[in-house]
Structure 1
Amino acid sequence: MIELNKLPVCIFKRYLLLLVGLTIMAFGVAFSIKASLGTSPISSVPYVVSLFTPLTVGTATITMHCVFIALQILILRRNYHPIQLMQLPVAFFFGYLTDFGVWAVQKIGYTAYWQQWLLCLAGILLVAAGVSLEVKAGVVVLAGEGVILAICKVLPKVKFGYMKVAFDVTLVVIACTMSFVFTGRLQGVREGTVAAALLVGLIAKQFGKVLEKWKLEGTIE
């Protein structure tokens, strides 16, 4: 149990960890976009939307997260906890950070396919590290994960892992459809998308094992 006098320190540590995780994750998204091998499933829709609208990737991400928050409210109704509205400022922070990340890496160039893969793998590693820090912080989840948790809550027989896969596949299908309809060709979804879908979770688990040794209770061990 956390001592009351140490509670503010613990809360500060957790939110600081969340902000660091979101920053790392945003740069991971930026690297995956720069690689031009396809973004991660969760970023595929915002990226495609940014191709045929005036919206930036970050602004499209914020918009998508707002839709996800609305979906959670519709799914859970009376069981929706207002504390989950913390996902809203997190969405804005993450969206603006994503735009900053895209701007920061814009001068990075490549001349070969293997260099694109280096950027793609860097993005995957950063996203995985960011996810593991977000989970370790344990204060609020991103809105996309919130939708999955909401569905699992009303359908308790459905396992989170299976729903996560179904959710990611749905986002990729939506991104592909919009890409063909509005740009006339497939964009934003490529081999890098598959790599991200397969590797982010696995790498995040490994980061998580390392982070298990770090206590956030505000005590000195």
Structure 2
Amino acid sequence: MKLKDSGKVKNYICRYLILTAGLLILAFGVALSIKAALGTSPISCPPYVLSLLLPWSVGEITIAMHVCFILLQIALLRKAYQPIQLLQLPIAFVFGYFTDAALYLVRNLQVPNYAIQIFWCIVSLFLTALGVYCEVKADVVMLAGEGTVNAIAIVTGKPFPKIKVRFDCTLVAIGILISLISFHRLEGVREGTIAAAVVVGMIVRVYDKHIHVLDKVVVH
């Protein structure tokens, strides 16, 4: 193998390791947001609410949801769909299992009052943002949620950020609808959900501005 090719292989290995680390961090962000009980992030809202109804874990429902997202991408893009994006499938399984593992590890975490709830909610926001930051820096394959937003943006010709906001709002609305129909109250949607929708992107930008370690590891 030529030295140049060897460098490319090492670079891609580094990228996928960073992506894997990001997925693990993101999973702990999800787990802590659930443990804090102040509302999950938009992407985790439907899986969490459904996990209260179905005999499946949050991670298993997350995997199923991501599979649906991948099928939606294929339906939207058709011939324009890039086969490399099928890597979203194994990534969905990894993220789902990471989520269940993280929930298991934090199962005994004590959250006795509202102040502690807020603390762990804030920690979850920073972890979620760090996970997203790693995912972006890896620059290999997006999670199926972001992949779906990108597919919709391509088909409609509208900017990714605008579609992202509408997509997240739709997921929260689905979570609210399922909660109200099934429990006659809100489950998984609270102030933490709003905070996640508003703050995570800001924190990611702060990380991007001040953390440069990954720039030295991943060569674009």
TM-score norm. by structure 1 comes to 0.95
Q: Does 1:120 align with 2:121?
A: yes
**Per-residue Cα deviation, 1:140-187 (whole angstroms, up to 9, x for no partner):** 00000001100111122x111111100000000000001111222210
Any idea what the Cα deviations from partners look like across 1:34-67, whole Å, max 9, x if unmatched? Answer: 0000000000000001000001000010010000
1:4 deviates by 2.2
Letter matched to residue 191 of structure 1: E
8 Å contact 1:73–1:80 — kept in the other structure?
A: yes
Moved more, 181-190 or 47-56: 181-190
SS in 2 for 1:52: coil
Residue matched to 1:203: 203
Q: TM-score, normalised by structure 2?
A: 0.95
Q: How does 1:32-181 map to 2 (within 5 A)?
A: 32-156=33-157, 158-181=158-181
Where in structure 1 are there 5+ consecutive unaligned residues? none
Q: Distance in 2 between matches of 1:211 and 1:119?
A: 23
Letter in 2 for 1:186: L
Q: In the aligned structure 1, how far is the partner of 2:210 from the partner of 2:83?
A: 32
Gaps of 5+ in 2: none
Aligned residues: 217
Q: Deviations over 1:47-94 (max 9, x none)?
A: 001000001000010010000000000000000011100000000000
Report the Cα offset of residue 210 of structure 1.
3.2
Q: Which amino acid aligns with 1:29?
A: V
Query: Are 1:194 and 2:197 counterparts?
Result: no
Question: Cα 1:199–1:5, aligned 2, differ >3 Å: closer, same or farther?
Answer: same
8 A contact 1:9–1:218 mirrored in 2: no
Query: Against the structure 1 CA distance between its residues 187 and 3, is the aligned structure 2 distance closer, same or farther, given a 3 Å change threshold?
Result: same
SS in 2 for 1:111: coil
Shifted more, 175-184 versus 46-55: the winner is: 175-184
Q: Deviations over 1:112-167 (max 9, x none)?
A: 211100010111100000000000000000000001100111122x1111111000
Partners of 2:12 and 2:211 in 1: how far apart?
17
* Cα distance in 2, alignment partners of residues 68 and 148 from structure 1: 9
CA change 1:161–1:186 in 2 (3 A) is same
Indicate if the aligned counterparts of 1:52 and 1:183 stay in contact, CA closer than 8 A: no
- Residues 95-121 of structure 1 deviation map (CA, whole Å, 9 limit, x = unaligned): 000001011111111222111000101
2:23 paired with 1:22: yes
After superposing the two structures, state which structure 1 stretch, 180-189 or 61-70, moved more: 180-189
Greater mean deviation of Cα atoms: 176-185 or 194-203 = 176-185
Q: For residue 142 of structure 2, what is the amino acid of its counterpart?
A: V
User: Structure 1 CA distance, aligned partners of 2:144 and 2:53?
Assistant: 24
**Aligned AA (1:161):** P
Percent of residue pairs bearing the same amino acid type: 48
What is the CA-CA distance between 1:6 and the residue it aligns to?
0.6
Q: Does the CA contact (< 8 Å) of 1:7 and 1:218 recur in 2?
A: no
> One-letter code of the match for 1:72?
Q
CA distance in 1, matches of 2:83, 2:116: 45
8 Å CA contact 2:76, 2:151 repeated in 1: yes
Q: Distance in 2 between matches of 1:3 and 1:67?
A: 39
Give the C-alpha shift of residue 212 in structure 1.
Answer: 4.4
| Secondary structure at the counterpart of residue 210 of structure 2 | helix
Query: Residues 66 and 92 of structure 2 are in contact (CA less than 8 Å); yes or no, is this contact kept in structure 1?
Result: yes
**Distance apart, 1:22 and its partner CA:** 0.3
